[in-house]
Amino acid sequence: MLIDWGAQVDLYASDLTRIFVTGKISPKLERIYGVVSKAQLQAIRAIKPGALMSEIDAAAREVIAKAGFGPRFGHGLGHGIGLDIHEAPRLAVKQNQPLKAGMVVTVEPGIYLPGWGGVRIEDDVLVTRTGHEVLSDAPKDLSDCVVG
């Protein structure tokens, strides 16, 4: 089950996605989750002031493509959040603007397979003066996703 949720505090929004599994984790799910997790971490590592939004997207997209799932990641990597849940900036292919300190973006790579389902992992990330800070702290190890 894929759940995308958020909260608002003092008019500011958050956005988070995790998957939850009942029963046994299949080898297919384990592989796909591992690819998405690696793609997300690669993209987060690339976040810093001056990095182009398209470069952050490309960092995740490259991991997914190398694993053979390139066409199955059909959306941009992320979006800004603040007073609205979806706002500028956009982490996507043709977004060649630089990130600036103070921006908050989601990083949410995903792989979706017709007739099977999908995996997306989303966290909120602040661009700091020297790099980034992951603001969300919900567990995301695949073993943390098993319920029941």
Q: Supply the pTM of this predicted model.
A: 0.95
Question: What pLDDT does 148 receive?
Answer: 75
Helix/strand/coil (H/E/C) assignment for every residue in 49-117? CCCEHHHHHHHHHHHHHHCCCHHHCCCCCEEECCCCCCEEEEECCCCCCECCCCCEEEECCEEEECCCE
What is the arithmetic mean of pLDDT over 79-91? 93
One-letter amino acid of 21: V
Peptide bond into 109 cis (omega under 30): no
> How many helices (H) and strands (E) would you count in the chain?
2, 13
Contact 91, 53 (CB under 8 A): yes
Asked which of 4-13, 53-62, 71-80, 103-112 is least confident by mean pLDDT, the reply is: 4-13
Q: How many residues does the chain have?
A: 148
All domains of the chain, ordered by start, with CATH? Answer: 2-147 (3.90.230.10)
What is the arithmetic mean of pLDDT over 118-133? 98
pLDDT in tens, 31-69: 999 999 999 999 999 999 999 999 999 999 999 999 999
